Amino acid sequence: MATSVRLDDEFVTHAKIHAEAESRSVPKQIEYWAKIGQMMVDNPELSYDFVHETMLATEEIKQGMAKLYVRRTKRD
């Protein structure tokens, strides 16, 4: 469901710069920030880097880029 939201011009300009640098549209950049923000609020003990890498890993799994780990040595 799409919803119109009024945003501060300075915020949108800031989002536009980041969107361009990260090859996203402005709405997708704002969605990305909101998603990270929500994760950080829900998990305050986690670092930004951990949250970012987890999002990346999740997308890699969705895209079929993950390989199954196979243990090569015997466990005791």
Span 32-50, pLDDT tens digits: 999 999 999 999 999 999 9
pTM equals 0.72
Q: How far apart are CA 50 and CA 56, in angstroms?
A: 10
DSSP string, 7-46: --HHHHHHHHHHHHHTT--HHHHHHHHHHHHHHHHH-TTS
Give the mean pLDDT per block of 10 residues along the chain (76 residues): 90 96 95 94 94 92 89 86
